[in-house]
Structure 1
Amino acid sequence: MANEECPCPCNIGDKLEYGGLGQEVQIEHIKAYICKPPVETDRAVIVVQDIFGWTLPNTRYIVDMLAANGYIETNVTVKYLKEQCNAKKIGVVGFCWGGVVVHHLTLTNPEIKAAVSMYGIISMSDDRYALKNPTMFIFAENDTVIPLEQVTVLEHNLKEKCKVDYEVQVYPGQTHGFVHRKREDVKPEDKACIVDARKRMINWLNKYI
């Protein structure tokens, strides 16, 4: 889901033909995908996938892209990142269902240094505007799951109630899943939005982690 009220349309978009540069690891009772940058770092980002899970090539592509920008990337626990990867500064990124998880984490986990929620939103909780960490929200103008009215309400209330840095970006003409489920080489107008959204994601993480 991308919010509590409407089912997720994550079956739209493209599945990339991509193998990945990282490796699969077993962490207690779960499996995960991790990719480390070429140089030592104490910064890490947890990537929370959409409903297709951590094995989706599109998710691994985003993980590897973030790792190339200097982050240990994985969709596993904070404990593992601290104990096994020596991470001291941790952020979180999520898509669709994962974006809802990110919104929840930034409301409840003060250990997170920065968060980016893409087309995921908590819309039915009274305290959903009390963010504890700097958070960027990325939405699509033509998202059938998250109407612009919800985005407007979010932005209005964050302005009144949020005490940390936040940013809300809406990309014109785009649909649900565009950042990680659309190919960059099909429509020029899509590529500009995809590239800009990914750049903003990385810049936000770099600013706060």
Structure 2
Amino acid sequence: MANEANPCPCDIGHRLEYGGMGHEVQVEHIKAYITRPPADQGRAVIVVQDIFGWELPNTRYMADLIAGNGYTAIVPDFFVGKEPWSPSGDWNTFPEWIKSRDARKVDKEVAAVLRYLKQQCGAQRIGIVGFCWGGIVVHHVMTKYPEIRAGVSVYGIVRDSEDVYDLKNPTLFIFGEKDPVIPLEQVSLLTQKLKEHCKVAHQVKTFTGQTHGFVHRKKEDCQAPDKPYIDEARRNLVEWLHKYV
């Protein structure tokens, strides 16, 4: 889900058969999946789910990928126990479903996760990455939390609001050229507004020929021309974290 104000179906893509390398923990009032790096350097990344929830294997795969690059990665249940969207759900009911899962009303959960990472994991430098619905969360969070040193919003964008361009810290936005949920006109508007209002490092990057979900839900047997873009987007994500977290 890329815009709570104008719901559109997400392309579920390929659901990985993946068990994960981490484990589940309780973080105050929410559950979370956490995975640790080979060598702890005091850096952590909050990984925010898409509409299919914190247990989606694809999201845990991305958390493990981030952990493998040197970060404690945590995937909290930002739906706070509410059911995630089901791929077999009736899309006619989606607008009502999403109303109780506002991506800009997660401050209580973000605060809880930040406390956990600092107090229980010894995190001194924290970043955030989100996919789809989680990308909206990242966009929102990066306007409010100076302590979060960097953000990567992957095909997620806050629209219909003028208070979302003064980012507090460096933020990377990743989009697919052929994403039906986020048209290129909206990507262009975001680019323009950030140029006008944002005083910190930022980048808006669009990947040729790619659709919604390509970074974490592309089919494993995707066509050969797609793979370089998937690999590049994942590499860009990690490089952004390395540079700023």
Spell out the pairing of 1:112-151 with structure 2 (5 A cutoff): 112-151=148-187
Matched, 1:2 2:38: no
Q: Partner of 1:176 in structure 2?
A: 212
Q: 1:197 aligns with which of 233, 241, 245?
A: 233
Count of residues in Structure 1 that have an aligned counterpart in Structure 2: 209
Contact kept? 2:10, 2:181, Cα under 8 Å: no
Q: Partner of 1:65 in structure 2?
A: 65
In 2, distance between residues paired with 1:9 and 1:112? 30
Structure 1 vs Structure 2 CA RMSD: 1.1
In 2, distance between residues paired with 1:34 and 1:114? 19
| Deviation >6 Å, runs of 4+ | none
List gaps (5 residues or longer) in structure 1.
none
Larger displacement relative to structure 2 (120-129 or 79-88): 120-129
In 1, distance between residues paired with 2:203 and 2:234? 14
Q: Deviations over 1:99-146 (max 9, x none)?
A: 000000001111100000011001111111111110000001111111
Q: Percent of aligned pairs with the same residue?
A: 61
SS at match of 1:151: helix
In 1, distance between residues paired with 2:218 and 2:75? 21
List gaps (5 residues or longer) in structure 2.
77-112
Contact kept? 2:174, 2:206, Cα under 8 Å: yes
SS at match of 2:226: helix
1:148 offset after TM fit, Å? Answer: 0.4
SS at match of 1:75: strand
In 2, distance between residues paired with 1:5 and 1:175? 20
Q: Which amino acid aligns with 2:59?
A: T
Matched, 1:28 2:28: yes
In 2, distance between residues paired with 1:91 and 1:24? 20
Q: Which amino acid aligns with 2:199?
A: K
Contact kept? 1:48, 1:95, Cα under 8 Å: yes
Contact kept? 2:215, 2:230, Cα under 8 Å: yes
In 2, distance between residues paired with 1:123 and 1:28? 31
What TM-score does the superposition give when structure 2 sets the normalisation length?
Answer: 0.83
Q: Which amino acid aligns with 1:73?
A: A
